[in-house]
Structure 1
C-alpha cells in the first residue's frame, strides 16, 4: 500500500477545519463578490469588485455581495434574515473595532434579498437600506435584470454610507406622530376643562392609539447591540420581488 504524503494529511485536516467553521453556510471564495448562483454577468462582477475594493480603501468599510440559489440549500428551517445574520457572523465581515461591515445577500429562487449591517451602524441606517432596496434593486429584479439590480444596489449602499444621513430625513413620520400625540392630549385636557368630558376621552383615546403606533415604528427600526468584532446582530433591511 502506498504511503500518503504528510502534506496530504495536513491539507485534509485544514480542509475539515475550514468546512466545520462554515457549517451551514457557503465558504467565501472572494473578498468582495461570491456569486454561487451565477447571477452576475462578468462585466458587472468585475465592476462591483472594483467598487467594493475602492470603497474599503477609502472608508475602511468591508462589504460583501453574495448570491445563492436558495437559503434552503444550506439551512432547511432558516429565513433570509436569520441566515444573513449567521452568514455575516460566520465570515466575520467588517473590522472588529468598528463593526462596520455590510452584506448584500440575494436568494434568487426564493426571490428575496437582504442588506445586513454590522452592529456599529445607528438604527437610522435600517431605513436607509430599505430605501436602497426599493429604489435601486427591486425595479431591476422585477424586470429580470438581476445583475443590474445588484450593481445599482451596490452603488446605492456605497453612496448612502459615504454621505451623512440626517436624522430628520428618515424619522419625519415619528416626529409628526409625536406632535399629534401632544396635540391630542392638550385638546383632551381643554375639553375636560370646559366640561366636555366625552370629547376629552375621545382625544385621549386618539393619543393612546397614536402612542401605540409610534412605539411600533420605533420597534420596527431598532437593531440589537452587543459585543463582538466584525459581527451583526440583525440590523439592516429585507425585500422581495
Structure 2
C-alpha cells in the first residue's frame, strides 16, 4: 500500500468509528411519560403514602388555580446538565402549564448528584422568583434531604412552592444593618443652622417669625434627611408577570 494513502485510511477509520459511537456518546437521558401523574419517583425514594398525598395536593392546586406543578426524581442525570434536562422535561415533553398562562413548575431531583432544581414557567416568575426558588431549595428541602428524609423534603418543597405562587411564602432574608449615623455630620448641620439663625436675626431685627415663615430650609431637613426611611420599608417588590412563552430558564438549581 502506498504510504501516502495510510493517513487517509486511518482518518477514514477514525471518522467511521466516531459516527458509529455517537449514538452512545451523546444519548440523552430518557424522560418518563407524563401519563396523567404529577409525581414521578424514578429513584423509588418516596413512600406510597407520600406519593398519594402529593398527587392529591398537586391535582387540587391544578383544579383550583390551573397551575401545573410536577415532580420528577431520577436516580442520576448520567452526565447531562440539570438545567437542560429540566427544560426538556418541563417544556418539550411534559409541556407543563397552560399555553396562555405559562403557569407550569417542575421540581427535579437527582439522587446521585445530590442536586435539585425548581424550573419555573414564565407566567409564575413574578412570584416564584429565582431568589425564592433557591431559598425553598436550601431552607425547606435540603435540611430534610441531608437526613435522608425525602418524604418530608419533597412535601415541604411543594407546600413552599404553592405558598410562593400565592404570595404567602415568607422569604425572610436577613435584614442588613443600616450604617450608623455620622455624629460629626449631624453636628456640622446643627452649626450651620445656628449660623443661619444668627445671621437672620442680625438682618431682620430679632423677629421670631422666621420659624414659621422662613421655611425655605426647614422642609428639606424634615422631609428627607436625618435618617428618614424614604419609603424603603414599605416596598414589597412584587410585580405582575404577563407570561409570553413557556419556560425561559427561570428558577434555581441547588445541592444538599
- For 1:167-178, what aligned pairs fall within 5 Å after superposition? none
Aligned-pair Cα RMSD in Å: 2.9
Equivalent in the alignment of 1:158: 162
- For 1:1-241, what aligned pairs fall within 5 Å after superposition? 24-72=30-78, 76=79, 78-90=80-92, 91-122=94-125, 125-163=129-167, 228=245, 231-241=246-256
**Can you give the 5+ residue segments of structure 2 that lack an aligned partner in the other structure?**
1-27, 180-241
**Can you give the 5+ residue segments of structure 1 that lack an aligned partner in the other structure?**
1-21, 181-224
Contact 2:102 2:243 in 1 (8 A): no
* Partner Cα separation in structure 2 for residue 61 and residue 121 of structure 1: 9
Secondary structure of the corresponding residue to residue 101 of structure 2:
coil
- For the pair shown, which has the larger CA radius of gyration, 1 or 2? 2
* Partner Cα separation in structure 1 for residue 68 and residue 125 of structure 2: 17
Q: How many residues align?
A: 165
The two structures have a TM-score, normalised by structure 1, of 0.61
Structure having the larger proportion of residues in helix: 1
Displacement over 6 Å in runs of 4+: none
The two structures have a TM-score, normalised by structure 2, of 0.57
Q: CA deviation at 1:169?
A: 7.1
Contact 1:226 1:233 in 2 (8 A): no
Q: CA deviation at 1:227?
A: 5.1
Residues 153-173 of structure 1 show CA distances to partners (whole Å, capped at 9, x for unaligned) of 11111111112679x977x88
* Partner Cα separation in structure 1 for residue 29 and residue 113 of structure 2: 21
